[in-house]
Structures are given as C-alpha cells and as structure tokens.
Structure 1
Amino acid sequence: MSPRISVARIFSRLNIGGPSIHVILVSATLDPSRFQSTLIVGQEGPTEGNMFELAARYGVRPVRIPSLGREISVWNDLWTTMVLWRWMRKARPHVVHTHTSKAGFSGRLAARLAGVPVIVHTFHGHVFDGYFGPVLTRMFILLERLLGRLSDAIITISGRLKDELVRRKIAPADKICVIELGLDLDAFLAVKGRSGVLRAQIGIDSETPLVGIVGRLVPIKDHRTFLQAAARVREKHPRVRFAIIGDGELRSALQAFAAEAGIEAQVYFAGWQKDLAPIYADLDLVVISSRNEGTPVSIIEGFASGRPAVATRVGGIPDLVQEGKNGLLVPPGDPVALAQGIIRIIEDPEMARLFGGRGREEIRARYGVQRLASDLGRLYCDLLARKGIRLQETGKSVDGMA
C-alpha cells in the first residue's frame, strides 16, 4: 500500500461564506485512503459568524491559529509565518495549499522556508478591485507576483479570473489552472416548490413575489445598491418583498438606509440561516449586487434550487450567469439596471421558470464536490511527480497545467 499524501490546507478564517464551505468540503472529501488532510484556520471577526458546526458535521477538526485572521498587521503576519513554519517543520506535509490572500502570504512563505515539496494557492477572487486605494492595491499586486514565484501551481475558480491574473502578471498562464468550485448540492437539487420557512418568518403568503440576496453584509457586496433597486421595484410592484439573508458589519447601517428609503416594511433582514435549501425554495429570484466576486456560492445554490439570477457583471460571475439563458447581468453600482432586471423576471414567470431550469441542469453536472476532490487530488499527484515524489498514481493532468 502506498503511503498517504499529507496535505496542509491553510485558510485565513472559517467565517460564514463560500470559501469556508469550499475548504471544509475539500478537507472532508479527499480520498482518506490516499490523502491525510489537515485544515488550519485563523480567527474570524466578531460579526462574521463561523462554520465550525458545518466542519464538525463533515468530520473536519480544524487546527486554530488565532494570529491568522483578516486584519493586516506586519508583526502579526510575521509571527503567524513563524508559527506555521514551526508546525510544518514538525508535521512535514507533502503539500501546502493556501486559500485567500492573508493565508496565502504567511502559508506560502512558511512552506518555502520549511522546505515543503509542493506549494499551491487558490484565488477564490482577488482584492485588486473595490477593496483598497490605488497605492495599497499596487502593493498587493506586487506581493502576489512575488508569492506566485513561490508557488508550484495557482488555482482559480473561473476562467475569467485566470485571465485577469495573467493580465496582471501574477503568474504565467501555464502555472495557473482552473478548478471550479464543488459543493454538496443534494438538498438544493431536491427543492421542488415553496417550503414556507422564510415566508413564515416574513409573514407573507406563497403568491407574494420574494427577491433574495444571500451573503455577508460587507462593503464589497454593495447591498446599498440592492436596496436602492428595491425602492425602484416597489414603485412599480408594491407587493414585492425583499429578503437579505446574512449578517455582518453593515447590518445596522443597511437597516437605517432601508428606513430612510421608505422600504423598511418591504425588506426583511433574515440574518444567518443554518439550513439554506428551504430559504432558496421560498425565493422567486436570487440577486448579486457585488462590486467584485469570484464564483458566488449563492448563485450556484440558487441555480441548484431552480431559481433564476440577476447579478452584476464582475469577476467570475459571467462564467456562471449566462445572459438571457439562466439569468440577467447588469453593471455594478447601477440600481436602475438592477431594478430593471428584477422587474423583467418577476413580470415574466415563464422566463423565470426557464432560467431556473437551465441553471439547475448546468449546476447538476458542473459543480459536484466529488469532481472537485478528484481534480485536486490529481493535481497534487502531478505536482509531486514533477518533484520526483511518486506516492500515488497521477492519472490525467488537470486542465490548464502542462
């Protein structure tokens, strides 16, 4: 029997969101007869929530390093690098795979210093647009170029994101491969009709149009534009209701803005919901208003539930939402266009049904978690083989890698 490949997966914090779901599922579904996985995470913020309950449900027990987190601090980041280096020198993983920029800095630097054979980093999105000013953004781009040289492979979750990284010279195209998200979608694919769960919370019947947005309440998600669009939709369709599912640092400000806009009665702040399949079942439409995105899990889950989408044309969203086929795309920061997209779908139930059905069929074949685990396992074996380390059979090469 071949020895198992030891993989250390490093992630900045297990806050509620798509990347957290991703690292949990990958850690849980890599073949345990071939891989030994360790998930290392930092500290989430006080308003972010966490997904340790989901990790426990899948049998994943993360190693926690409190100094690894969201905030930028030179001394704290260097301390985190030293802590990770010590752990790697003791554990001797064959592969270190980092996710998100903060973990990518400390994790990749520590792995190189510790002599880890294979270093991989995944971009779930990037911080080059919409997060920082021009000087800090330029600094991050230069840092990512340096870290790209320390990496044996870089993964993106969409083709558009790969193209953007190549354009920004983060790494050459032959070092970047596209491995799309994989999720446990069975509960969403099983959705048939209304569940009544969310509608009961709001106090509306099954015939009232309900538009939802799912995600963290943080600036990059631009819920303010969503609320501005909601106000415009209400002018034409006063019966429509809007649900904001999620929580975060901007909740109070967004609630105040809804009140100022006169739509407090039409907007329901649902907070985090543990079981999302019944929530999507009660929606007529899923919206994304973000200024920047990777591949949003909420759209994947919405499509799997048979719900159409209206989303901003940013990041990897156009790889997922195909204009006029399974949803509509609008410019970011444009509440008029967003409102028009929402109105088009709620006024045309047949179009909504067609969009939702097409989205579901594509998601069913494209975003399964076993496909993701297989792609990653093959990549790890390929990269180790290039270093002369053959613990497992490599199989077919992953798309995008030579």
Structure 2
Amino acid sequence: MSRRSADRKPVVVHTVHGAPFHDYQPAAARQFFIACERWAARRCHHLISVADAMTDLMVDAHVAPRNKFTTISSGMDVEPFVHANDHRERVRKKYGISDDHVVVGKIARLFHLKGHEDLVRAARKVADACPNVRFLLVGDGILRQPLQEQIASLGLTEHFIFTGLVPPSTVPEMIGAMDLLVHTSYREGLARALPQALIAGKPTISYDIDGAREVVLNDQTGYLVAPGDEQDLANRIIHLTSHPDIRMQQGRTGQQRFTEQFRHQTMTKKIREMYQELLANTAR
C-alpha cells in the first residue's frame, strides 16, 4: 500500500503476513521467493510485520535490515470473540456435544502441513485418558476423507466432529463451543485462530512455530509444543482437559492480555502514526 504527501512524494509500505519461503519447499523455490522479497523490500520505505517472528525470518534471510521493520498486530473486530460463549449451548447442541464433553477445537483447512494427522494420532492417547473428550475440526479440504479413514482406523470416530467449511462470521460461535484450541500447523505467520481463541477466553496449545510463541505463553495462556512431538501434544491436551480450573485461568489471562492488542482500532491507529512519521521524514 502507498500514500503520498502534499508534494506528491510517495511513501511505500508493505505488510508481511507470512513469508512465501519456508523449509518445506525445494531449495530453488525458496531462493527464488527470497530474491523476490529482497527486490520488493528495496522499493519500500518500511515494512510492517504482523509478528516479531516474521521480522526475524526476513532479517535472517537478508530481505531487509531490522530497522526497516515495525511489528503491528493484525487487527480484527474482537467483540464477537469476547462474547463467543453467548452461543455455546446452541452450537454444542447442534453438533451433539453434551455438557460433560470437553471440546478440543482446531480451525484450519484440511490440508498439508496443517498437522491434522499429528492431532489424530495424539487423540488416541487423549481419548484413552479422557473418554469425554471431543475434537471439533472447523474447516474443509482435500484431506477430509483420508483423515476420516485415519480416525476410523484408530477407533476414534465418535470422538471427532467435522463441521466442514463455515462462514467467517460463525467462527466466534464455533470457538465459544470449545474448551481449548489446538494449532498444529508446521508453518504460519501468526494464525489468527490463536488470538481469537484467547480473546474468547479459551487456552491454546500450539506447535512452536513462527509467531505462535508471541501469544501462546507457557503456563500463562496455554502451551507450546515442538513441531511433531505428538506425545507432548497429547500430554498437554490431557492436562488441560483434566483441569477446568487451569483452562479458565489461562483463558482469562489470554483475554485480558490480547483483546486490546488485536482490536482493529489499535492496528489502524499504529499504522496511521507510522505513516505520519514516514511522510514527515520524506518531506525533509
């Protein structure tokens, strides 16, 4: 996006939501995308990162120097998430979830590198320890049938609920039906589902990737798990499933800590201030 001062001198700013290069692509493709990012960065006055992890990634790849980046959290309308529990009873009834079920939610496309297979394998251990657990998978994709077959082969069909693709406007009520949220993606700038769940007062468990560690704070708002560590993933889910008091405490901490940070008004205010400073500097 760009903006011009009174003398028509341009100020160009680029926002980094997620890097196009990552460790799970061929080396040639990775180098190509890094070169593209470097080319674009040289033509920007400044870059906004939605998480400090995105800045670290770009700096490490020599896309641009660190002083050319500012972190501004990606804003949203937080009110539907603050009031997510208003829909809890209705949504749980719709999906056959009873009061004694503890619902572990995941919001993501049923696609590669989203870690659904890891969650299913961990779920076998969780269900053995906590028979009242239910896994609510929000989203759809090409892996739905393979996942359903994997779930059936492990004897977990009754423990999993697939919602299919849902309108974005219904995501808050889906989170309201959950008791905690897991995020097992192997790459993501900062998954919006994490702050959304925390703003709704739900603790989160996430693979320790990219910006996740900036909102999932160990023993405060949830737990970080090393990518692919299915045993630790299962242990953390069992821990939160078995301790409603800890779920409530961590969820409350997340809501208090991140609601204001992720308000869209907070984001636009910071962006406006940054533009004003850049415009003032270029006018000199």
TM-score in terms of structure 2 length: 0.91
State the Cα deviation string for residues 199-227 of structure 1 (Å, max 9, x = none): 22321212211110012222132211111
Which amino acid is 1:354 matched to? Q
Q: Which residue of 1 aligns with 2:191?
A: 296
Q: Which residue of 1 aligns with 2:39?
A: 146
Distance 2:241 2:87 in 1: 16
Distance 1:235 1:346 in 2: 12
1:154 to partner: Cα distance: 1.1
State yes or no: 1:342 paired with 2:237. Answer: yes
Distance 2:115 2:20 in 1: 15
Distance 2:32 2:124 in 1: 39
Gaps of 5+ in 1: 1-6, 9-92, 96-114, 390-402
Distance 1:215 1:151 in 2: 32
1:384 to partner: Cα distance: 2.9
8 Å contact kept, 1:125–1:315: no
Structure 1 residues 328, 214: CA separation in 2 closer, same or farther (over 3 Å shift)?
same
State the Cα deviation string for residues 46-85 of structure 1 (Å, max 9, x = none): xxxxxxxxxxxxxxxxxxxxxxxxxxxxxxxxxxxxxxxx
8 Å contact kept, 2:85–2:177: no
Distance 1:203 1:192 in 2: 17
Structure 1 residues 153, 190: CA separation in 2 closer, same or farther (over 3 Å shift)?
same
Q: Which residue of 2 aligns with 1:121?
A: 14
State yes or no: 1:280 paired with 2:180. Answer: no
Q: Which residue of 1 aligns with 2:222?
A: 327
Aligned residue among 248, 258, 271 for 1:353: 248
1:196 to partner: Cα distance: 2.2
Which amino acid is 1:132 matched to? Q
State the Cα deviation string for residues 345-366 of structure 1 (Å, max 9, x = none): 0111111111000001012221
1:190 to partner: Cα distance: 2.2
State yes or no: 1:388 paired with 2:272. Answer: no
* Bigger Cα displacement from structure 2, 339-348 vs 162-171: 162-171
Q: Which residue of 2 aligns with 1:315?
A: 210
* Bigger Cα displacement from structure 2, 214-223 vs 277-286: 214-223
Which structure's relative contact order is higher, taking Cα pairs within 8 Å and 6+ residues apart? 2
Between the two proteins, the alignment pairs up a number of residues equal to 280
Distance 1:171 1:190 in 2: 40
* Bigger Cα displacement from structure 2, 266-275 vs 123-132: 123-132
* Bigger Cα displacement from structure 2, 376-385 vs 334-343: 376-385
Q: Which residue of 2 aligns with 1:231?
A: 124
Q: Which residue of 2 aligns with 1:31?
A: none
Gaps of 5+ in 2: none
Q: Which residue of 1 aligns with 2:69?
A: 176
Aligned-pair identity (%):
28
8 Å contact kept, 2:9–2:282: no
SS in 2 for 1:219: coil
Distance 2:172 2:264 in 1: 17
Aligned residue among 341, 358, 369 for 2:264: 369
Distance 2:135 2:34 in 1: 37
TM-score in terms of structure 1 length: 0.65
Matches within 5 A, 1:27-38: none
State the Cα deviation string for residues 266-309 of structure 1 (Å, max 9, x = none): 11111233312221111111000011121211111111111111
